[in-house]
């Protein structure tokens, strides 16, 4: 039987449709260096952005359940679209487990940053369609003017290692146009993949404030872990396991590019998610 002591050491489960969630893993490692992490990139199904919302809800639910059944003590839905469609139901189904998303933390950070009350959101088609950011901003201040732009070219650019290309600049110019037109002073990077494209986006509008929701999401995570008495204070070195539902060889090469030193990971493995369980079960058992 698992003891309270074990529970502190249990990993934080993090997932995304692909590489984007590594931006969240990096934030966790920076601010919670003692925590163990189990990350799933659902590259079998990436990109999520253009898929029906019900389908994404199914993926997010299956992955969350598999992380929980693998022994995770908390879940971070790094993926914006998953947070938009699935966060509430997982929080309802697992009321005693810290489960956090990125949409509300991102909206709160942007609300604090804007001076003129005009905020832009760059996101996937699904996230824009869900209306989750608009609803989050309305719950904070209904006077904000929010302009959302769907950016279907961005995720394939990141997954295919084209962040520094002319294609990335062209796409950034296209997607930033309505935000510039609307006079926004603050832009939410409403998809975990987009921080990897920040240089291209910033080149189009250097004067704007860019918000990565991962930063405030990790602050929320710290608060929740503390209130649940789940923070890992062990002096042992932490472990991070990165897994993909997609091609393992390709993922290994991608991770090397996106997780440079000082970020670390012990193992890169493949996983299969089926009916809320995964082949990752007990992966940490031999380590901790
Ligand atoms: N990175 C995910 C998000 O934050 C989804 C990207 C995609 O697969 O389309 O919404």
DSSP summary character for residue 117: S
pLDDT in tens, 99-125: 999 999 999 999 999 999 999 999 999
Enter the pTM of the model.
Answer: 0.91
Is the predicted pLDDT of residue 276 greater than 70, yes or no? Answer: no
**Sign of the CA dihedral 83, 243, 94, 275?**
positive
Lowest mean pLDDT: which of 157-161, 168-172, 283-287? 283-287
List 79, 151, 163, 240, catalytic entry? 79
The average pLDDT across 33-48 equals 94
Enumerate residues lining ligand 1, CB below 6 A.
16-18, 20, 46-49, 79-81, 124, 127, 155, 191-193
The yes-or-no answer on residue 191 being catalytic is yes
The encoded tokens of residue 171 equal 């796409």
Best of 51, 56, 193 to mutate for ligand 1, by most ligand atoms within 8 A of CB? 193
Rounded to whole angstroms, the Cα distance separating 241 from 175 reads 34
CA atoms within 13 A on the CB side of 79: 32
Distance of alpha carbon 214 from alpha carbon 220, whole angstroms: 10
Atom 10 of ligand 1 has which residue's CA nearest to it? 80
Measured from the CA of 21, which atom of ligand 1 is nearest? 1
Residue written as token pair 């925590």:
35
The DSSP string of 63-89 is HHHHHHHTT-SEEEE--HHHHHHHHHH
Alpha carbon nearest to ligand 1 atom 2, residue:
79
The pLDDT of residue 4 is: 54
CA of 81, closest atom in ligand 1: 10
d(CA 209, CA 109): 11
pLDDT at residue 132, rounded to an integer: 98
pLDDT, mean of residues 63-80: 94
**pLDDT the model gives residue 237:** 81
Distance 48 CA to ligand 1 centre (A): 6
Cα atoms in the Cβ-side hemisphere of radius 13 Å centred on 227: 10
Is 163 noted as a catalytic residue in this protein? no
What is the structure's pLDDT at 280? 64
- pLDDT, residue 268, reads 76
């Amino acid at each position: 039987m698992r003891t309270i002591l074990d529970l502190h050491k249990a990993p934080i489960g993090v997932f995304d449709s692909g590489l984007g969630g590594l931006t969240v893993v990096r934030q966790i490692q920076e601010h919670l260096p003692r925590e163990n992490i189990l990350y799933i990139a659902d590259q079998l199904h990436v990109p999520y952005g253009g898929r029906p919302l019900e389908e994404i809800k199914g993926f997010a639910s299956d992955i969350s359940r598999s992380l929980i059944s693998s022994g995770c003590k908390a879940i971070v839905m790094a993926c914006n679209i998953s947070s938009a469609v699935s966060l509430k139901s997982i929080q309802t189904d697992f009321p005693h487990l810290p489960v956090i998303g990125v949409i509300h933390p991102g909206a709160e950070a942007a609300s604090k940053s804007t001076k003129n009350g005009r905020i832009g959101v760059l996101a996937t088609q699904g996230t824009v369609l869900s209306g989750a950011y608009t609803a989050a901003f309305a719950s904070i201040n209904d006077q904000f003017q929010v302009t959302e732009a769907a950016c279907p070219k961005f995720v394939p650019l990141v997954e295919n290692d084209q962040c520094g290309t002319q294609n990335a600049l062209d796409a950034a110019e296209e997607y930033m146009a309505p935000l510039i037109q609307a006079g926004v002073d603050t832009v939410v990077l409403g998809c975990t993949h987009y921080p990897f494209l920040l240089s291209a986006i910033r080149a189009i509008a250097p004067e704007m404030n860019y918000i990565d929701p991962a930063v405030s999401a990790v602050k929320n995570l710290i608060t929740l872990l503390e209130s649940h008495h789940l923070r890992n204070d062990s002096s042992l070195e932490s472990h991070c396991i990165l897994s993909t539902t997609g091609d393992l060889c390709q993922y290994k090469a991608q991770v090397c590019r996106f997780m440079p030193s000082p970020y670390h990971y012990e193992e890169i493995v493949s996983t299969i998610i089926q009916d809320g369980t995964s082949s990752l079960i007990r992966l940490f058992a031999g380590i901790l």
